Structure 1
Amino acid sequence: MNLNTHCQGLPAKIAWVWGLWWLLAGAVWSLDSTEKSIADAIVAGQAKALELLETSVNINSGTMNFAGVKATGELFQQQFADLGFDTQWIDGTPFERAGHLVASHGTKGPKILLIGHLDTVFPIDSPFQQYELLPDNRARGPGITDMKGGNVVMLLALQSLLQNGVLDQLQVRVVLAGDEERRGKPYSLANAALIEAAQWADVALGFEDGDSDPRTAVIARRSAGSWTLTIAAGSGHSSQIFREDVGNGAIFEAARILDGWREALSDEPNLTFNPGLILGGTAVERDRVRAMGSAAGKDNVIAGHATVSGGIRALSQLQLDAAIATMQEIASESGPNAQASFEFFPAYPPMAPTDGNRRLLAMFDSASRDLGHGSVTAVDPRRAGAADISFAAEYVDMALDGLGLMGEGGHTVDEIADLSTLVSQTQRAAVVLYRLSQQQ
């Protein structure tokens, strides 16, 4: 299959995208000799990969344990260096985190961004600290699926390409963040390395575990953001409530706004918003950092103050913008003697389900079928939370996530990996990388 004939005379970027579309649309794949050799190399390398997984899991790298995150970064940094990658540790002091590991390899071929992270949700004083082998080819450990297992899948895939002499047919940049579980701020600094790599890349692959089902992969992730509703209203003796000149009080006004949002937006597909904390009374104090607060009031006094905080998730920026506009409009329709203010705080942007992402999923599905691992479909966006790839997806032609080690119980002391998925997940990713390299 010669794509050069079909892409002659086109600008490089356009030729690459058009050529890959032609490749995906017209090809009927089966494993060639190189792909079979890649698959065999992964089987041969799984024992050492499992040793690396155990070693990494046994290093506590809770996000705020900077020494542990950096130690985990140094462990993987050496692994990438052994594969011939140029590596760089980006100090996280400017964004109040440990930092990020960036590794690069190759000067020709499609530009591929591989995304992972080094940190976990388990702090240094957590009782959950060690890798434990379980029956039925499973293992328990902090961060074993989220996402030290994904980092190992990534490395083993690259190693198999190197062993078969095809790694040089790709330009690869790896970003392993040190703050995925608790983002550093300001975001402009915390995300700079990832966004720069995404602007450089053609394709982004994320090695999170998705919804922990090897029959699925992620072409879309919803955004993550928060909001605050603050209300000031007239107060006075409760016997006078509902008079036009007195009003309904701050708590009733909060209820009106929240129910208005529910009626207007609750049926919108893939949009969710949730009031997580509400405080109301004659006096209200909220601690934003610790997500808690206090309120005081009496049964016979109209509440003069209320504050509500919560989160919101949307599938696209357009959907998010429309929802925020609706929430703002409903909040601004204040009742008598009341005034509401609404603030939105963006965090993770949405990863929209683009045609490019669907084509990349089709390629992943084809590789999985050819390897004998079955079909792969898209995860329901309601089952896929925000992740690092959310910051990268808008800059690349194609993005796919959920390619890491599978299991269950993420973010809990029952985080368990299905070790049988190490080989299958790695083979799928490696064959996709190889096929991307062959479009040139």
Structure 2
Amino acid sequence: MKYLILSVFILFNHSGLVRAQLTRTEKKIVQEVNSLAPEQLELLKRVVNMNSGTMNFDGVQAVGKVLMEEFEALGFETSWVDGQEFGRAGHLLATHEGKPENLKVMLIGHLDTVFEPDHPYQSYTIDGDSVMRGPGVVDMKGGDVIILYALRAMREAGALKNMNVRVVMTGDEEKSGSPLSLSKQLLVETAEWADVAIGFENGDSNFKTAVISRRGSIRWKLEVNGNAAHSSQVFSEEVGAGAIYEASRILKAFYDELSQEPLLTFNPGVILGGTAVEFDNGKDGGTAYGKSNVVASEVVVSGDIRAVSPEQLAMTKETMERIVSSHLPGTEAAITFEEGYPPLPPTQGNRELLDLYSTVSSDLGLGPVSAVDPLRAGAADVSFTSGLVDAAMDGIGLSGGNDHTANEYADLNRLPDLTKRAALLLYRLNQKK
């Protein structure tokens, strides 16, 4: 039976561990993070200089191999989940078995970046003594090394041996494999095992925040058909309104009924219409042909939905389907939804996990941590733990900014601090009555 995260807070309140004074073991963990900091930085430099663009399968596997060796040195059992079935390099899984009665913790990272081998941005540079620039340094190789060295500091302090932890580092976070049911299967299966899931993405790259809610992301496609005819006959009983008027009616109704829903966005990103339309799903675009004096017979619209909860997503889909089902004369329309990233709602368990993390930060003298606005938190791998764990949190990876650009950078001054916060969070979660 899973532990409720609330029981962990009750434990710390009764045991007196939630206080500014660190325990002897916690002080040892902090000391180990400090002593290991030079090694941690060298590993970060090494993996940043290894190209692991999502479609560079050899590169993704090479980074995975380096980190697997590091986890094995900590006593973890590691395996590589091959990605052939979903068209990607695969995923890393590292497992540490502790006492059965202890909390089961899932840690999430990813190995791939958006920088493929033909991209000019391939290696790190150091500005002064505190800024590191490099491909994937914050998104998210910095987070990966925080996971590794938080666990290593715990091991050196004798605090890891009883801990149940599974680390999943995916190889397709930046460009998901297909189908998602296979691409994200390891995340789902590990979440079914876990009580708590913690992701080490960089969130909004603010040292004072963490993510407890991520909006999901799914794609939709609207297809509309009408009767082609000379424009002089539009609105007649035989011809009707045409496909473009019908598509316009539908999109306007989407806006009217849903645009004021809090934390919901739905965006029609591409629209093609005319007498002949060819739409390429893979490229999310295509060609359209028509004439000003011909009633359009086809329209295709492609867009996405970003919702904060499964309930909000279901309501949005139902509303869109209802609007589409009511047609203008002489037209037909249908909307389809693709699989995507599920929403991660801000549950009570998530809030309590953030509270514990914030307490750890304050106890370290680093100040409190608050929640990121879900409007600033896009979909990520942690979303696939939604509804499967008692508590989830993300965005506690390395601070920095300009993700996905040739100006991506990390604040190296925060690397030890973030590692300490992660290590003490894991240590406190692992305590029991």
Alignment partner of 1:23 is 2:14: no
Question: Partners in 2 of 1:165 and 1:398 — Cα distance?
Answer: 26
Alignment partner of 1:327 is 2:320: yes
Alignment partner of 1:271 is 2:257: no
Q: 1:39 aligns with which of 15, 30, 42?
A: 30
Question: Partners in 2 of 1:307 and 1:179 — Cα distance?
Answer: 29
Question: Partners in 2 of 1:420 and 1:92 — Cα distance?
Answer: 36
Alignment partner of 1:75 is 2:66: yes
Contact kept? 1:24, 1:362, Cα under 8 Å: no
Which residue of 2 is the match for residue 361 of structure 1?
A: 354
Structure 2: where are the runs of 5+ without partners? none
Alignment partner of 1:210 is 2:203: yes
Alignment partner of 1:238 is 2:228: no
Q: CA RMSD in A?
A: 1.3
Contact kept? 2:5, 2:349, Cα under 8 Å: no
Q: Which moved more, 1:133-142 or 1:290-299?
A: 133-142
Which residue of 1 is the match for residue 429 of structure 2?
A: 436
Which residue of 2 is the match for residue 183 of structure 1?
A: 176
Alignment partner of 1:98 is 2:92: no
Contact kept? 1:215, 1:376, Cα under 8 Å: yes
Give the superposition deviation at 1:184. Answer: 1.2
Give the superposition deviation at 1:313. Answer: 0.6
Deviations 1:335-377 (A, max 9, x none): 0000001001121011111100000000000000010111100
Deviations 1:61-110 (A, max 9, x none): 01110000000100111111111111101111111110111001122121
Alignment partner of 1:400 is 2:361: no
Give the superposition deviation at 1:32. Answer: 1.3
Question: Partners in 2 of 1:357 and 1:195 — Cα distance?
Answer: 18
Which residue of 2 is the match for residue 6 of structure 1?
A: none
Q: 1:112 aligns with which of 105, 116, 120?
A: 105
Secondary structure of 2:2 counterpart: helix
Counterpart residue identity of residue 227, structure 1: W
Q: 2:382 aligns with which of 366, 375, 389?
A: 389
Counterpart residue identity of residue 10, structure 2: W
Question: Partners in 2 of 1:24 and 1:290 — Cα distance?
Answer: 52
Q: 2:2 aligns with which of 9, 13, 28?
A: 13
Secondary structure of 1:169 counterpart: coil
Q: 1:192 aligns with which of 142, 164, 185?
A: 185
Question: Partners in 1 of 2:291 and 2:179 — Cα distance?
Answer: 41
Give the superposition deviation at 1:202. Answer: 0.9
Counterpart residue identity of residue 158, structure 1: L
Residues 313 and 170 of structure 1, relative CA distance in 2, 3 Å threshold: same
Alignment partner of 1:280 is 2:273: yes
Secondary structure of 1:22 counterpart: helix
Which residue of 1 is the match for residue 126 of structure 2?
A: 133
Give the superposition deviation at 1:186. Answer: 1.8
Question: Partners in 2 of 1:21 and 1:368 — Cα distance?
Answer: 15
Question: Partners in 1 of 2:329 and 2:13 — Cα distance?
Answer: 61
Give the superposition deviation at 1:191. Answer: 1.5
Deviations 1:159-200 (A, max 9, x none): 110010010121111000011111111222212221111111
Alignment partner of 1:312 is 2:305: yes
Q: Which moved more, 1:325-334 or 1:32-41?
A: 32-41
Deviations 1:34-65 (A, max 9, x none): 11121121111111111111110111101110
Contact kept? 1:146, 1:209, Cα under 8 Å: yes
User: What percentage of residue pairs aligned between the two structures are identical?
Assistant: 50
Contact kept? 1:204, 1:393, Cα under 8 Å: no
Normalising by structure 2, we get a TM-score of 0.96
Q: Which moved more, 1:405-414 or 1:246-255?
A: 246-255
Give the superposition deviation at 1:397. Answer: 0.7
Contact kept? 1:24, 1:359, Cα under 8 Å: no
Question: Partners in 2 of 1:214 and 1:393 — Cα distance?
Answer: 24
Give the superposition deviation at 1:25. Answer: 5.7
